Structure formats: C-alpha cells, structure tokens
Chain A
Amino acid sequence: MSTPLAPARPARLSLALRDSSTMLRRNLLHARRYPSLTLNLLLTPIVLLLLFVYVFGDVMSAGIGGDGADRSDYIAYLLPGILLMTIGGTLVGTAVSVSMDMTEGIIARFRAMAIHRGSVLNGHVISSVVQSVISVTLVGAVGVAIGFRSTDATALEWIAAFGLLALFALAFTWIAVGMGMVSPSAEAASNNALPLVFLPLISSAFVPVDAMPGWFQPIAQYQPFTPAIETLRGLLLGTEIGNNWWITIVWCLGLAALGYRWSKAVFNRDPK
C-alpha cells in the first residue's frame, strides 16, 4: 500500500487559493482538450464583425451620424460592442460546461473531500474569464487586421479598457455559472444563457441609442452592455464617457455579488 504523507491542513485562505488553482488547471485542461465549444462561440462575433463591416458597413456608417462617416469609422464604432458580445458568447459556453459538469459523478467526489468548498466554482469562473480574455484578444486582433485603430489612447487607457473587459467578464461569468447550476441539461443551460447574447443586440453596439424608438431608449441606455460599450469607446476612441464608467462598475459589482451568492447557494444545497 502506498503511504502518502498526511499533510497538515493549511490555513483557510491558502487552502482556498491552492484548491482553486487545482480546479482552474482542471477546467483549463478541459478547454484545451475540447476546444470546439470555445472556438464555435468565437466564430459568432467574428462573423458579425465582418458582416456588419463589409456587407452592411456602408449603410450602417450613415447611421452613426457625422457627415462623410465611412466604413473605417464604422469599424471603430462597432468593435467595442463586438468585444463585449464576445464575452457574452463565452458565457453561453460557461453555462453549458457548468451544467454538464454538475451532472458528473466527480462533483459528488469533490463534495465529499476536505477541500475548499468554493474551489469547484472558482475554477470554473477563473477558467471562463481566462477564455473570455483570450477570445476578446483574438477578436480584437481581427478588428485591428481589418482596420481598427485607436485614435489617441494612452497606455493607461489601454490598461483601463482591458481591466473593464476583464471585470465585465468576471461579473457576468458568475451569473452564467448560476444559470448553469440551475439548468438540468446542457440544452437548458444554453437556453437560459441566451439573454446574455441578446442583450448586446439591444445596446449601442450596432447603432446609437438615440436612433432607437423613444420608449425603448431608457432600456437600451441603462442595461449593462451600453454603459460598458460607451466607456470602452471613450477609452479607445476618445469619445465622451460621462457617467457611463461608474454605471458600468456598479453593474459589474452588483452582478458579480449576485451571481456569486446565487451560485454558492445552489452549490451548497443538498444534491438530488
């Protein structure tokens, strides 16, 4: 019989960090071994980007105001929204993989082990945020390749833009994890997460909010995607940010706290 040494129980925080990073490695291994889901979800924002720029570009550029706005102006207008849509797509993958994982027997094994209880979910969340950041970078690279250029963003503004995308991904990932936890199957999880894909369509991602019907404008204006998109535009293109930055942060913190508590509560319930 093997005799592994019985390790001393480390302090709670280091236990949490250690177990969470173990779970993160597990989730990243899944993503690396089975990349098809991630790649499929990446395809949607890239296709949308190309479609709106090369097929609808001429018409759309007329709609963003400004006389003589052309296709390259529309790329600049479009890309921040597409980047946030990329996060939305990754979230569907998160909800699906969480719901599939929860039906696996190994989760029961984790529950009966003396590990940090939150580490299973932490692993999912961090892995999903990492995937979001990689996807956003890839889609951003496509945007640059077809002509997106920042006007005069400083290094600090680039860092802030990156941080905003990461915070946004983190907040919505906790919501997506909760959606995955309460979904009995992968199909249900995919359906439950669909609003996260639709929300950007009714934001300022494709057309300005003031081009929408009056009764709809408040919804489009204050849903989480629009302030985030406007903040990103401000950072990268030098447009007016106004109060959008703090609305975005309030949304992100609120959703992260809500999703975190929701997911933990569902995970701590007795399994069926």
Chain B
Amino acid sequence: MPSSVMPTPRRGDGPQSSAAVSTVGLRKSYGDKTVLDGIDLRIPAGSVFALLGPNGAGKTTAVKILSTLITADGGHAQVAGHDLATSPDGVRAAIGVTGQFSAVDGLITGEENMLLMADLHHLSKREGRQVTAELLERFDLTEAAKKPASTYSGGMKRRLDIAMTLVGNPRIIFLDEPTTGLDPRSRHNMWQIIRELVSDGVTVFLTTQYLEEADELADRIAVLNDGKIAAEGTADELKRLIPGGHVRLRFTDPSTYQRAASALREVTRDDEALALQIPSDGSQRELRSILDWLDSAGIEADELTMHTPDLDDVFFALTGGTDQPKEAVR
C-alpha cells in the first residue's frame, strides 16, 4: 500500500491514521436467518480492535467475511487497502487468521506445520528453517517441535496456530476467540502474546465473549448483538454505559437490613436475600467513600462484595433487554 498517498479521512476520528479495516453496511444471512445486519467499522492501522458479543452474535461470521473465507451478501469492505470483493488475494497477502477451531495439520509435527507455512509463503529453505526455529522458540514449542500436532494440548495448539499465522509477517491479524477453552494460565500467556504483536505494529482484530479480555487488550471495542453493532468505543466509554457495577451488602438480621435500607437512599433492595446494591464503578476511591458513608450512618453489613460489570451487564445495558432471562444470552 503506498503510504505516501494522502489519506482521505472519511470521518472526524484520526485524520492521519489510515484504516486497516473498514466496512460499510456489511450483511450476511443464511436462509432467512440474518447473521450480520449492516456492520460499519473503521479500525485504524496499528490498533487492537475487539468485537465483543455472546455466542451466535455473528462474530465468527464477521471474521470469516473479512478474512475472505466467505462472501458477504451486501455492503463493502476494505482490508489493508484492498477491496474484499475485487481483490481477495491482495487481502490474503496482508492478513493472518487464527480461527476459533485449531487450524493446524494434526497429522504432521509442529515443525513440519511451520515449514509448510514457510513454503507457502515462498521463503527460501534457509529462511524457512530460521523463521520456524525463531517462532517455535518464541512460543515455547521447541521441545514439542518433533511431535505430531494432534498430541498437543489446547494451549499448545493455539500457540502453534498463532506461530503459523506469523510466518508470513502479516500486518493485520484476525483472532477469533483466541482464549476460548484455554485454562487461566494459557489465557494470560495468550494475552501477553497479543500485546507483543501490537508492540510490533500489527493491527489486531479479535473477537471475544469476555469483557475483561476486551478491556485488557483492545483500544476500541464494538459490541455486536443480533447482527448489529450495539455500541462502539473505548473500554471506558463502554463501561460508562453499564450500570452493572455495584457493591452488594448482605445482612442476616432483618431489622438491621430495614434500618440500612431506610438510611441509604439510591440503593436497589433485594428484600428476600436481605441485600442492598449500591452502584459503583469499582474504584478504590469510590469504595472508600461508600465505606465512610456506611460508617457515618452506623451500618455494619455481614457481607460486602464487589460486583464488576461483565458481558451480561454490557449486553443488557446496550440492548435494554432487562426483561430477558439471563440464560438467553449466555
């Protein structure tokens, strides 16, 4: 992509940043089920973008379309300056994809998988071996290099998967639910890997169902609900939309509960559980002021728990679907 060409800013945000991915009105349906219903995105180069949403929201479909695996029914999209419809090979040359299901060849070894990628990127034998050794080392797979990939653990497969994606030095990387099904340690390893990618200047498009993950990694987050972008912004911007964060006070004695409930206003009562909910953003400062407030009112709860916003909260807040049963969005 010629960088000397003056970029023409379409919108107000970041006039100098060229978009790594931009879509207008992207649509996809299977039969009469609409999966994506007009998606508009603009992801600046070198940033991390998270597409957040529950299962079935259309996240994977969006990744599949943007990585040229399937074609959209409507709308336009550009990836790395190439039009998806007219120049899919241009897109493919610039991207790397690690899908939700492991994209390694289980019948051959980890090293052979890496060398296969090197061959497909037309690296010389020497370069291929060098890149393979470096990446296996970097992803802690050197010991397992000579074993068939089918014998790898979930975390190892995921690491091999990303290592294979990096062989061609892609400038834009799509990661579809990179941590789903990983244990907590592997998940944190994966986060570290993603942060390193970003520091190399790569644009990362990731999907996740965990707000925490988007919060940890992403510059901007879009919430996908039912095929539409329900909200888009930084993690902080989104959190401001969420009323779900609160401090929960639980009492064992009904009379203490009643006294507390009448003393504290602006609380949500749960008479059956003898619990009160005070809205909170979860910061240390606000927690201290709540505690001071309780002390000055002479209230002592038997149990105090912090509740931080999760995807359910975001989801309900953004869709206004408080009357829906929670299970429906899990």
Contact = CB atoms under 8 A, between A and B. Distances in A.
B97 interface: yes
A26 B112 CA distance: 9
Interface stretch (B161-169, B212-220, B290-298): B161-169
B45 to A, nearest CB: 17
Contacts, number: 87
Contacts of A112: 67-69, 92, 95, 97
A7 B121 contact: yes
30 contacts: A2-B131, A4-B121, A4-B123, A4-B168, A4-B169, A6-B169, A7-B121, A9-B93, A22-B116, A22-B119, A30-B107, A33-B108, A33-B148, A105-B101, A105-B103, A108-B69, A108-B99, A108-B103, A109-B97, A109-B99, A109-B164, A112-B92, A112-B97, A113-B92, A113-B120, A114-B89, A114-B90, A114-B92, A115-B120, A271-B69
A270 B148 CA distance: 29
Contacts of A113: 92, 120, 168
Interface string B122-142: 110001001100110010000
Interface of B: 67-71, 89-90, 92-93, 95, 97, 99, 101-108, 112-113, 116, 118-123, 127, 130-131, 134-135, 138, 148, 164-169, 196, 200
A197 B196 CA distance: 54
Nearest to A4: B131
B127 A111 contact: no
Contacts of A33: 107-108, 148
Nearest to B197: A1
B102 A18 contact: no
A5 B120 contact: no
Given A4-B131, A112-B92, A18 B122 contact: yes
Contacts of B104: 105-106
A4 B167 contact: yes
A1 B134 CA distance: 8
B208 to A, nearest CB: 19
Contacts of A115: 120
A113 B67 CA distance: 9
Contacts of B113: 106
Contacts of A9: 93
A104 B106 contact: yes
